[in-house]
Amino acid sequence: MNLFRPQMFLTPMMGRAKLLFSTSIKSRGTFEPDYLDSSGPVIPTYPPLNIQIKGYNFDALESMQSYIHNLAENMGIDVETAWATPAKTFQLTTFIEGGVRPKENYNVNMYERNVHVVGLRSVDAPILIDTIRIALPEGVMLSVHEHTREMGEERWIADPFIDQLRSELDTADIEKEKEQVKKDATNEAKAARKKELLLKSLTD
């Protein structure tokens, strides 16, 4: 319903009616251009990361890995996988005070767990890492690494046959790249030669 009534008056010179107010009907709702949604800030993301924890206490490490996994998922972070690597055994030796003779020997196992996250946003990374550091149990070491194929394969027992096949495939890929570079260089030289001959024929 239009609240304003258009008033009409006659000008002496023009001799015709004019409207003081517009009589167009207002559309309901608010018009928002499409570019308002498309031009929002883009939050950068990290490459795939491994949240790595190490420690000598197996139970504490298992509990901490579960905590990190649940924390990341509750924050909306994509946890692709998590794995354990075989324990590494170290031999520790204590010496008699004031001498160099060994006193006792100890075998200590170092355990390792990894939580692999992908698409971690730059605004979420500080919150995640700081929360993990605050909750870190005593004796557990935390580190964050960019994911590599070697880190993912440390959990498996090395197979010489598979390693040989992989090295052969890598060598074949390198050879293919070299051949492709040579072909590209040859094609460029041919194209340059054709262009030169064409220009020469036009000038003659």
Residue 128's φ and ψ, nearest 5 degrees, are -65, -50
pLDDT tens per residue across span 94-141: 888 887 888 888 898 999 999 999 999 999 999 999 999 999 999 899
Exposure string (b/e) for 105-141, b if CB count within 10 Å is 16 or more? eeeeeebbbbbbbeebeeebbeebeeebeeebeeebe
Residue 98 and residue 89 in contact, taking contact as beta carbons nearer than 8 Å: no
**pLDDT band for position 175 (50/70/90)?**
confident
| Strand 17-19 versus strand 8-10 pairing type | antiparallel
pTM, two decimals, is 0.58
Beta bridge partners of 121: 45
pLDDT tens per residue across span 192-204: 888 888 887 777 6
